[in-house]
Structure 1
Amino acid sequence: MPEMTFRVRWPDGKESDCYSPSLVIREHFTPGQTYSVSDFLQKSAVALTEASERVRAQYGFPCSRALGQLQAIRQTGAQFHALSDAKVSILSFKF
């Protein structure tokens, strides 16, 4: 199963690499696009849950690393949730 990382820039300017065990992220995000924090959190939840389920379908168990990544995204995003104009940028995909 091909894995990938997607690099994001948070509203405070910090950048982080996020892991996905599947290329499904490409169906939910576009490099160069910005998303509201709430939209980014929702799309991340859908995409990383789907990626984890693809692992389950192939190997019989969910991807704990994808679910851990989702938890990390939620924790970071919670800092900015109250800021109505806060945006998250998708900088790049790496395969």
Structure 2
Amino acid sequence: MPENPHNAAHRALVAFEAEADKAMAGLSIWGLPFRSIYSNMHLIADSAFSGGRFNADRRPDVEKGATTLARLSQWRPYFSLAGAEIGRDLEDALGA
């Protein structure tokens, strides 16, 4: 009897997610301080929402900003891999 295509698709998706999770955990970004990663992601989202506070030549992209913030929830399991040091100040955190 032929396999149900939904079952095959589900297994393929689960296999892909396992590979993607392994690749995410192996990214060098997790060697940075948590504050640096988190602050930069919010800066990226803010730049998308506003069109760039420091570069007025970009058009705001609300969808990109919202997608960036939504991705942070998917990164939750990986944030614990990042360092806990906070740096001297915000400039230090964003410059890491």
TM range, smaller chain: 0.3 to 0.5
With normalisation by structure 2, the TM-score equals 0.38
Larger strand proportion, structure 1 or 2? Answer: 1
Larger of the two Rg values belongs to structure: 2
Q: TM-score, normalised by structure 1?
A: 0.38
